[in-house]
Structure 1
Amino acid sequence: MRRTLIVALSTLLAAQAFASAASAQVRSGSGRGGQQQQGEDDAAAAAKKKRDSEWNQPQAPLRQLRNAGPCPYVKVLYDASRYVDFKDAREAANAVAYTGEFQSLSSGCSYKDEEPISVRIEMLMGFGKGPQATGNQHTYRYWVAVTQRNQQVLAKEYFDVPVTFKPGEDRALVTETIEELVIPRAKVTVSGSNFEVLVGFDVTPQMAAFNRDGKRFRVNTAAVTAPGAPAAQ
C-alpha cells in the first residue's frame, strides 16, 4: 500500500529554529579569541581572492550533488519491531492469536537549496495467524515518527494494514510504501542528519517488554526420515 505523509510544519520549524540558533551560537565563538580568529580568516580569504585575480585563476565548477546533505536516519524501533498478540496475556506458543514483524526496510531521500526533505520508505512486513486466531482477517496498526535526532518526537502518524490470510495458510507478506514523507527545513543549512525517522507496530506495554527481552518461541519439528530408511529408535 502506498501512502504520503507530510509532517507537522509548525512543530518542525520551531524545533529547527532552536537547533539552528544553538548551532550558530557554538560556531560563532565568544570573546576576544573568536573575534581574532574571524579577523585572521577574513584576511586570508581577501589575500587568496587578490592572488587569484592577479593570476587570472579560473574556479573549477563543483560536481552537482543529488542532495544538499545527508538523509535522515531511518530505522525500526526495536521495542516495536514485532507484534505478538497473546490470548489472556499468557506468553505461550499455544496462546498466540496474531503476529507481525518487520522483515526489511529501505529508504532514500532528496532535497536541495531551500527545498524540504522528501523521504521515501519501503517496508516488507510478515504477518502470522496463531492457534488462538478468531478468523482469517486481522487489521494491524503501525506508526511512522519523525524526531529531532536523539531528542524529541516532532510528528507521529498511525496507519492501518488490513491482512487477509488465504484459506489453509497462516502467513502473509505485505509491502508498505511511504511514497513521500516531507520534512520542512527552517534554513538551507539544516540537513537531514538533524532528523531521525522511526517506524514500529502499535504495541501494548506487554508486547514491548516481550520484544525488549528478545523472547522468541522455538518450534519443535520431528526428524525427517528419507524414504526407505529405518526410523530412528
Structure 2
Amino acid sequence: MRIHPHLLVAWAAFAAAPAFAVTNSASLTLAFDPPHSPPAVVIRRPADYLCATVTIRSTAKDTDRQAVAVQETVRRLTTAVQRSNTFQLHQGPVRVFGAGSGSSFLSGKTNYAPGSLQTGLRILSPLTPDAEVFEIIRQISLFVARIEVPNDAEVRVVSTTMAVADAEQQRDRLMQLIREQIAKTREQLGANVLTVTGLDGPVLVRQLDALSVELYLDYQLSATLEKLPDSQGR
C-alpha cells in the first residue's frame, strides 16, 4: 500500500471504517525462488494455498472520492469472497522473503500515477492433491473481473504464488533432522569439529513443482578434520 502525504487525511477516514470479518487469519509464508540451492535438510509437502495478490486503486482526481471508491471496492470484493464457496480472504500476517524474486505463476507491475490511493488484498484458494493450478488462476481472474466496482476504481490481480500456513510449526522437526545430519556427517568424515550457522533464521518455503513446496532453514554446516593427539600427547 502506498500513501502520499496529501492523501493522509482521506486515508485516515478510510482506515477508521469498521473492520471486515476475517475469513482466514493464518500466518502465511509465501514461496520464493532462493538465490542458491536449499541445504540438504528439507521437508517436502503439498502447499496449502494458491495466494493471489489483488490491488485496488481509484482513478478519481479528488482525494475524498479516491478514499470512498477504494473503501467501497474493498467492501464489494470482501463481500464477494466471503460469499464464495471456493475462495478465502486472508487478513492474517504474511511472511515474504527474497524480495524481487518471488516464485509466482502470474506477476505484473503496477503503473499507477503518483497521486493515486491504492491498497491490496490477498485471496486464497485451498489446494487439493488433484488441483489444476492454472485453472485456479483463471477462476480467480474471472472472479475478480466479474465484481462490479465504482466507475472510478480499478481492481487487478498482480501476482499468484504458493503459500504455506504456519510454516514455523515445522521448526522443531527441521532441527531434529539437522541434528541427525550433523551426527551422520561426523561419523562419515570422522570430523571432531562441526560448525553450524543460520539456525536462528526463519523457516523458508521454496516452490518445488506445481503443488509442492520445500520447507527449510537456510543453515550452513562446515566440518574440520583435526588429528587428535595420541596417548603420548603426539
Q: TM-score range by the shorter chain?
A: under 0.3
Larger Rg: 1
Q: Which structure carries more strand by proportion?
A: 1
- The alignment's TM-score, normalised by the length of structure 1, stands at 0.24
- The alignment's TM-score, normalised by the length of structure 2, stands at 0.24
